[in-house]
Amino acid sequence: MGFDRYVSGIAEARFAIRKVFRIVDIQARELGLEPLEQQTLIQVYGAPGRPLQVRTVAERLDISPALASRMLRRLEERGFVRRRSSERDRRVIEVAITRTGHRPPHRCGRPGRGGLLPVPATATIQADGAVGHGVLCRPRPLGGGTGHPDGHRGGPPMSPDPAGALARVATNVAIVTTVADGHPHGVTANVWGEGTDPPFVLVTLRRTASTLGAVRAAGRFGACLLGAHQEEVAWRFARPEADPGQRFAGVAHHRVADMPVLDVTHAWFVCEVEGAAPFGSYEIVTGRVVDAGTGSADEPLIFHTGRFVHLAPRMERS
């Protein structure tokens, strides 16, 4: 498999996973669960026959062990999971699914819900949108209600998989930064700018991401648009297994208004948090720009059709 196909497959799988999370949020509301509680339950459900440690659940959801423990305690109160001390080490808490806990994930597969289909926990990530190991649901093809041969109430039929169309929406690539306990935090994301007076920047962060919590606590953030040849930086800050603070190791940066700013950027902003709004499994954070500048990278890094691309050379008009 070539690198382009690999990146394209990852992008399509990421879209499928995002679609799963959106539908999981809807299912959670129907069950009276918080979205994060439902995601926690799915993680436990995805390990049949063997209990999970609390820290493993936390790592899979990219949340703190304390928050994972709180989610599991709520699920235990409703009879969905069972917590107990490990037989090997009594200090370690393990959690397993209960008979009652099997029911909410199974609701994903009820016919007529227009939601999810159950798939094995050992499924692999495929370019056609199948979801990977540990995720028990995959999206149905998008469609409307019944009564139309294409599953739509009106208008032209929608493509059964809009991922190809959405992949053609070119986006910038940025590192969103902040500070927690004096240490830099950062994650790869997209940003949008509004040239109002004062100007604003919007960033989208996963609601379970530790960087989002750090941004909330700090009340401000930085946004560094990457240059055309900073693909490695984008990958470094996008790896979910990497500690948000350790991602800065070997990446030259400095502070502006106490926010980390990369030494090499296409452009950068430092913002005061003005507000946040939930958007499925994400939050859109709005920041008022208090400082900004252009960097040494003349051309921006662009993400398009599942891969990093560069702008075409400018052509002078005759």
- Give 159-168 pLDDT, tens digit per residue: 555 666 777 8
Q: In what order do the strands lie in the sheet with 191-194?
A: 183-189, 174-180, 220-225, 267-279, 282-294, 200-206, 191-194
Q: How far apart are CA 43 and CA 19, in angstroms?
A: 17
> Has residue 21 got a pLDDT over 90?
no
- Give 31-43 pLDDT, tens digit per residue: 777 777 877 887 7
179-183, 242-246, 261-265, 298-302, range with greatest mean pLDDT: 261-265
> Has residue 152 got a pLDDT over 50?
no
Q: What is the DSSP letter of 227?
A: B
Which domains, ranges and CATH numbers included, belong to the chain? 3-150 (1.10.10.10), 171-309 (2.30.110.10)
Joined together, the tokens standing for residue 283 give: 């939050």
- Give 29-88 pLDDT, tens digit per residue: 667 777 778 778 877 776 655 677 888 888 877 777 788 888 888 888 888 888 888 777
Phi/psi for 272 (5° steps) reads -95, 130
Residues 6 or more apart whose CB falls under 8 angstroms from that of 297 comprise 226, 227, 228, 229, 230, 264, 265, 266
pLDDT value for 176: 96
Q: Where do runs of H (alpha helix) occur along the chain?
A: 3-31, 35-45, 54-61, 65-77, 99-106, 163-166, 210-218, 231-238
Residues 6 or more apart whose CB falls under 8 angstroms from that of 158 comprise 142, 143, 150, 152
pLDDT, average across residues 89-98: 76
pLDDT value for 239: 80
pLDDT value for 11: 66
Mean pLDDT of the chain: 74
CA-nearest of 241, 235, 248, 233 to 180 is 248
Whole-prediction pTM = 0.52
Joined together, the tokens standing for residue 125 give: 């990530």
